Amino acid sequence: MDKKQTKRSPQRPTFRKVLQKSALSFLALSPLLLGIIGLVGLFQVLVTPKMLAALFKGNGVIDTLIGTLAGATAPGNPVVSYLLGGELLKQGISLYAVSAFVISWVTLGLTQLPAEVEVFGGRFTLYRNILAFLFTMLIATLTTLTVQVLT
């Protein structure tokens, strides 16, 4: 019994130590997180919804690409993308473009790129963002086509 206990103690640290270690690793990342939050704040002020809405041209294919890029640039809560997307639909912008905009708002983040590179590495970030970019356009197209067939 005693043997077991003495064997176990060096392997399993106390919860307090584990918590301390986790808190320290978050603290080490705090300049990075503050940097992103600051960038998001700047983008929220400098990139207005009006500016984003003005980007769309009324061409389905180009608008899907613009929707993906605009969603990747825009920061903030995804609800804002729904509000903006709803307004864009009312303005006659295609569902392809609006779907791409709503998806890329969450999956792609220009302001988060420096942090993603720092934490996961350049190659991972490059692959993930290329995949997210291509799949945003693919999913937006498939969703719109399926909705058109179903309704």
Partner 1 sequence: MKEQDKPFKNGDKPFVFRGKYLLFIVLILYGLLFIGNSQAAQLALQKSGKTIVKIVPILLMVILLTSLLNFFLQAKQIARHLGEESGGKGWFWALAAGVISHGPMYIWYPLLEDLRSHGMKDAFIVVFFASRTIKIPLLPIMIDYFGLTFTLVLSFYLLIGALIQGLIMEILQPQN
Q: Give the footprint of partner 1 on this chain (CB under 8 A).
A: 13, 15, 18-19, 21-42, 44-46, 78-79, 82-83, 85-86, 89, 95, 98-99, 102-103, 106-107, 109, 112, 114-124, 127-128, 131-132, 135, 138-139, 142-143, 146-147, 150-151
CB of 70 to partner 1, least distance (A): 16
Select 1 or 150, whichever has its Cβ closest to partner 1: 150
98 vs 144: CA distance, rounded Å:
10
42 vs 1: CA distance, rounded Å:
60
134 vs 12: CA distance, rounded Å:
44
CB of 73 to partner 1, least distance (A): 15
81 vs 72: CA distance, rounded Å:
11
Count H helices, E strands: the chain? 9, 0
Select 97 or 102, whichever has its Cβ closest to partner 1: 102
Select 66 or 105, whichever has its Cβ closest to partner 1: 105
